[in-house]
Structure 1
């Protein structure tokens, strides 16, 4: 069974990023999201060219917000940990994680994949 709600996948992927020799702290992006949670401005569309860190940022956001995991250790040395909204939102929201780069085994088309996701959620 595939899991899409509050999975540990973004946590594990962000852990790997933090272990790289070079990491540029983009955690203040989280603060921008924290500022608009619960408002009418809470919907974001992040578009950038290839290789501009969209997936890494999405995994960082997932690792920060996902319920069921304590990721304080991952973020304690990043800039976001020094903000007033840090504790208010870390690990306190449901996150849906979907990877569209590959199709899971039971699916042969993206239409089947979307139906499968709906079924699993």
Structure 2
């Protein structure tokens, strides 16, 4: 497919300089990082792959790293999740922030 691939990881796991975003989880808070040197530009459509959306914190933090540091528009970011725990409100919050979301399995 020859598509660019950018990792978002826990602090200290990526080489080179990174952008960092703090966010809350249902059980505390943490942060996530992406490298400053990437092929991302403001006109690209981006897919964020997350295994599970609960409160939406991780997915939103990743998306906001892209909007805040690379000027990617919210409408150009799709969050693709295997599982959505919709009763925890994460997918609803993702939509309210203007990001797209698609999931394979929904548990209420």
Normalised TM-score (structure 1): 0.28
Greater share of residues in strand: 2
Greater share of residues in helix: 1
Larger RCO, structure (CA 8 Å, separation 6 or more): 1
